[in-house]
Structure formats: structure tokens, C-alpha cells
A and B are shown apart, each in its own frame.
Chain A
Amino acid sequence: MNVAKPSNHEHLASHLFRTEAAKMVSVLTRIFGLSHFEIAEDIVQDTFLKALNEWDFDRIPQKPEAWLYKVAKNKTIDYLRHQKHVQEYESDINHLLKSEWTLASSVNNMFLESEIQDNQLRMIFAACHPLLPPESQIALTLKTLCGFSIKEISRALLTTETNINKRLYRAKEKLREKEFKFEIPMGDDLIKRLDSVYKVIYLIFNEGYSSTEAENVIRKDLCAEALRLCQLLSEHFVGDKPITYALLALMCFHASRLDARIDDKGYIILLQEQDRRLWNKALIEKGFEYISKASSGNELSEYHIQAAIATYYVSAKKFEETDWKSILKLYNILEKINPSPITLLNKIIVLSQINGPEEALNELLKIKNLDNYYLYYTTLAELYKQLNKKNEAKKYLEKALKLTNSKAEISLIKKRLSELNAC
């Protein structure tokens, strides 16, 4: 046996860890309360250590998930018994944990399928709480809901493990404060809190979709997890809303292009050069299903517009057949909802397809606050190139080069520079 290679049971345990650990942490946080979050994490970790120690090639339990849940339940009950007259928990079932009449059955109940789903929703709302700093929200969501390890989170967010540890530590400290409750918000509060959840999901997706630095596997995992969390949200009555489906549709459409967007050497392939046969048809179909669900009601969110824009991109058989005019109309609406310089930049790129580079360039030069954004300069360069002003185009590509650290982006810009020099 090669010792360096993880054996079968280790593989199985780490696969299950991803899928089940997060569920367990949510369930146990319901029992111990947010302020004792670390107890939940310790018990889950002990459970998986026990699996690693006891499972062997020929001794993997028939139902590994059930085995894990049973061990976690027993460890929880043991812990609660030891702490019976010592510790209080801020959980809504605290009193039921104080008596042997109710202890075991209450813990058992929390592991029922319906409660697991409910507890995961509570965890989503806690991890995406607007009072937590945004970078902590993402790290905490990946840790507690997606079962990512510290190492995986640091790779996904392109930062160090120390940094992620710090973010998580701060987030957990904050979660002890009174304002944080492990519950699903209702009423007016719900809308605000959902908004924050959507943002985190979208950021996780974008991290996977746009980050060209992270490894391919991690990028795909991030996109898949964002989709899974959003689906989880849509399956619960508080999240069964048109905006949820708009976000799902948007992510499906973008995810459908994941494989066509990067070549096998990790280089970016621009939309006009992508092999459209590589687009994932199943995801596109799913996207259209979600779009029709998103269209009920009269809510019109940023995600609705972005999803609608994406439908035009995925519907075009060739780049030249893209319906730019309809897309421009949608950008005009988007600009009203979210008047950010980036929205404007994207709108101008569309404008250049309809009215040509000159008008687009004039508009582009009016934008402020994008001085440090490399895509602003690559767009400027592209428009100058189309106007046959090679020197300006080169100047801006060189400027863009200084503003990105991404290897894939750098090689793309260099490729464009050498094309300019060649013609």
C-alpha cells in the first residue's frame, strides 16, 4: 500500500465530510446556540475522526451517513449530560435538554430531514448576517454550509490560511453578540436579510466564475455550491420567491459557459471566440425553467435584469447574431436599479456593438471611478484598436497589465499586445 495516497475510507470520509459535516454543524448549532458554535464544530470533527479511526478497507459501515449521524447524536447527548447542571444554551429547546425525559428525543428530532433543512436555512441567515463584514460572510458560509476546509477557502478566495482563520475568528466572536439569533427571520426583517443572502450567494458564484487564478476544481465547486445554496433557499417557503429564481437562472446561464470560457492551459477565451457547442445545454434549459418561475409576481430585481441579459447571450447561435439592441434596453433598466460604474462599462461595450466604437469611446471617457479597474483599460484599448489608433490601444493595454495579478488575464492582455504589434 502506498502510504502517501489517501486510502478508500479516507476518500469516503472526506467526501462525506463535505456533504454531511455542514448539515451536522447546522443541526448542532440549533442545539447549542450560536454563542456555543465551537462545541458544534468540535463534535462534528470528533465524529469524523472516529470514522477515520474505525473505518477500514473492509469495515466501512453499510450506511455510512447513518453511522455518522448516530455517532454525532451520541456525542451530543454525552456532552449535554456532562454539562447538564453547568451550562445554559441560548437555544429554543434549551429546557428540553435539561431533563432525561426529553433530552434524547429532542436531539433525535433535530436530526430529522425536515429539521436539517430548517437548521441549514437558519445557518444561511446567520452566516450572511448584514452585521458581519462581507468578507467574513463568504468565508463563514463556505466553512459552515459548504464544508470547505480552511485550506480550500484560502485557495478559493486567493488569500492565506492565516487570513481566513482571522476572518472566521472575528465572525465567530461577533456571532456571540446579542443581536445574532439562530433563526429564520420573518416579516420586514426577512426581505432585508434575504437581500444579504442573495449577495453572498452571488459573490461566491462570481468568485468561482471570474477567478481565473483558483484551480479549476475549486472554481467549479464554488459555482456548484452557490447554486446548491440558492436551491436550498428556494425549497423553503421563506425563499420561494421570484428573486431567488432570478438568481438561480442567472447562475445557471453563466455556469453553462464555464467549460468554454477557459482553455486547457488556463487561458481565458472571450465570448466571441468561445466554442458554443461546449456550452452546457442542460444548465441552459434549467435556467429557462427558473426564468419562468422568476417572472411570476411584479418584482423586478437586479438579478432579474441580469438573468434576462444572459438569456440573450445564451440564445444567440453565433456571436454576430446576439440581439444587442434588446440587451442595451435591459442595461438601461439595470443602470437605473444599480447605477455602478461597472454596469455602465458593460453597457458601453454593448453600445459599441450597435453604434460603433466612436460613440462608445466618447461615453467611456466620461466614466469616473474606474481608474484602477483593468477591464476599463482593456475596453478602452479595444475601442481604440477598432478605430485604428494602435498607439493608444497599446498604451491602455500596458496600463491594464499593471492593474491585474491574474496570470490568465495577464497572458490574455499580452496576447492582444502582440497582435497589435503584428498588424
Chain B
Amino acid sequence: MKDYLLLFRGGEMQELSEEERNRHMAKWSEWIGSLAKDNKFIGGDPLGDESRVISGRKKVITDGPYAESKELVAGFLIIKAGDLNEATEISKNCPIYEVNGTTEVRDVFHLDL
């Protein structure tokens, strides 16, 4: 088992009505609940729009990554999976596609010295 990071981008959740939003979030609960039941859920949260980017040796601070909203990271999850394929399969059940979002699956790299 390895750890994988699921990075969610986009997702037009603000455009949902309260009722639609509740229904949508219930699907997240169901999905994350089923991952937890299989001991595959580690953690993760949605992210807000307050952001800053710090860069360079001079630690220059700029407001936000200036990405278009569909490219903006909307949240993340860390899960356990046997390999990238399984992690991909798991990600297919994420409800984010219903609101036009995308998922990027990345393996957590072991820095062996």
C-alpha cells in the first residue's frame, strides 16, 4: 500500500443551490465514508480562495496563483492504494466530476537517502 495525493481542481460548487449543494456534499460523505471503511482514507480538506504565493530567495510575496478558476486547486485528499491504477480507479468515484472538476492523482514519493 502506498499513499496517494488526490488534487482537485475547478468544480463549480458556488453555482449550486443550497439544496443541490447539500445533495452534492452527501455524495462526498458517502464516498469518503466508503474509503474509510476500507481503511483507505487518510485525510484532506477542501480549500478556500484566500491565498498567497511566496517565491524566490527574496521570498517575494504575491497575491494568489492567478490561475483561472477551473485550474485552481479546490481541495485535496490523501488516500492509500496498492498502485497508481487502483488510486485512479478510486478517484473515478469522486463526486467532483458532477460539478466539472478534475482530479490529479500523485504518488507520495519516498525520499530514500
Contacts and interface: CB of A to CB of B under 8 A. Distances in A.
A105 interface: yes
B84 interface: no
Contacts of A98: 43
B32 A95 contact: yes
Contacts of A105: 22, 25-26, 28-29
Nearest to A93: B33
Interface of B: 22, 25-26, 28-29, 32-33, 36, 41, 43-46, 75, 77
A261 B22 CA distance: 54
A101 B47 CA distance: 10
A96 interface: yes
A96 to B, nearest CB: 6
Interface string A83-107: 0000000000101101111101110
Contact of A99 (B22, B26, B45): B45
Interface of A: 93, 95-96, 98-102, 104-106, 109
A215 B35 CA distance: 55
6 contacts: A96-B32, A96-B36, A98-B43, A99-B32, A99-B77, A102-B33
A109 B33 CA distance: 13
Q: Which of the listed residues B25, B46, B75 has the most CB atoms from chain A within 10 Å of its own CB?
A: B25
Nearest to B33: A96
A102 B41 CA distance: 12
A86 B54 CA distance: 29
Nearest to B24: A105
Contacts of B32: 95-96, 99, 101-102
B44 A99 contact: yes
A239 B41 CA distance: 36
Contacts of A93: 33
B10 to A, nearest CB: 16
B28 to A, nearest CB: 5
B36 A95 contact: yes
A95 B45 CA distance: 12
Residue among A98, A102, A105, A109 with most chain B CB within 10 A: A102
B33 A95 contact: yes
Contacts of B28: 101-102, 105
7 closest residue pairs by CB, A with B: A95-B36, A100-B45, A102-B29, A105-B25, A101-B28, A102-B32, A105-B29
B19 to A, nearest CB: 13
B41 A95 contact: yes
Contacts of A106: 29
A27 to B, nearest CB: 17
Among A101, A106, A109, which residue has the most Cβ atoms of chain B within 10 A?
Answer: A101
Nearest to B29: A102
Contacts of A99: 32, 41, 43-45, 77
B66 to A, nearest CB: 25
A356 B97 CA distance: 85
Nearest to A101: B28
Nearest to B45: A100
A96 B29 contact: yes
